[in-house]
Structure formats: C-alpha cells, structure tokens
C-alpha cells in the first residue's frame, strides 16, 4: 500500500521536531490541520509540507470515494448502511496508520496521491 522510509528532514528553522511530527501526523485524519500545515510551514520545512500535501490530497480523495459509494447506498438500499459505516471505519483506520508513520518520522508514498504533491514539497 504505502512505501515507508525512515527520514525526517525537518529544516530546523521553523517548528521544533516534535511539533513538526505532530502536525505531520494530524494532517492525515484532520484536513484542516493539513491545510494549516501547508500554509504555516517555511519553504525549507519540506517534512511538514510533504505530509501536509499528502494528507490533504488523501483526505479529499477519501471524501470523494466515501461520497460516491455512500450516496447510492443510502438512497437505494437502506440495509447497506452498515457497509457505509464499515467503509468509514476502514478509512479512519488507514488514516491512523498513516498518522503513526508520519509521527515516527517516516517518509512514505501513497500511490497516485504522491504524484499530486508539488516538487517543492518533496524531500
């Protein structure tokens, strides 16, 4: 699913390493944190920007997947509401996994999402 490497390349000019890791980790389950991370990270803080962009694009993609799959299920088959709930729980579980990897300082690539990250944010 996602390739992981141990690499925390925080530029050192902006936030402390712990704050960088916390922002990077929270970028996956909470979209607004990803957006704030992108906006407040200094240009040399590629670790925060990388995880901010990846978390934001991941969140948008999962929202669209959830929306596309849940609207027909709720509208047509009321008995499939359990499947929609399981989908939401699965997405949350994956987001928590990504958050743990980011907090550990690992660089990982989510297929397709990685290609959307601007070159200036990749490290």
How does pLDDT run along the chain (123 residues), one tens digit per residue?
565 554 554 444 566 888 889 999 999 999 899 998 888 888 888 888 899 999 999 999 988 887 887 776 665 666 666 777 788 899 899 999 999 999 999 989 999 888 888 877 777
CA distance 28 to 76: 31
pLDDT the model gives residue 60: 92
Complete DSSP assignment for 38-107: HHHS-TT-HHHHHHHHHHHHHHHHHHHHHHHHHHHHHHH-GGGHHHHHHHHHHHHHHHHHHHHHHHTTEE
CA distance 23 to 68: 29
> Taking a C-beta distance cutoff of 8 angstroms, is the pair 37, 24 a contact?
yes
Helix (H) or strand (E) holding 6: strand 3-6
> Taking a C-beta distance cutoff of 8 angstroms, is the pair 110, 2 a contact?
yes
pLDDT the model gives residue 11: 45
pTM of the model: 0.78
pLDDT the model gives residue 1: 58
pLDDT the model gives residue 14: 61
């Amino acid at each position: 699913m996602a390739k992981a490497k141990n690499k925390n390349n925080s530029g050192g000019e902006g936030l402390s390493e712990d704050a960088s890791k916390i922002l990077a980790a929270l970028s996956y389950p909470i979209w607004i944190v990803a957006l704030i991370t992108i906006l407040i990270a200094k240009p040399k803080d590629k670790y925060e920007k990388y995880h901010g962009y990846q978390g934001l694009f991941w969140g948008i993609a999962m929202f669209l997947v959830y929306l596309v799959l849940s609207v027909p299920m709720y509208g047509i088959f009321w008995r499939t509401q359990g499947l929609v709930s399981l989908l939401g729980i699965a997405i949350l579980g994956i987001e928590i996994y990504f958050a743990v990897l980011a907090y550990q300082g690992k660089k990982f690539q989510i297929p397709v999402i990685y290609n959307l990250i601007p070159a200036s944010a990749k490290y």
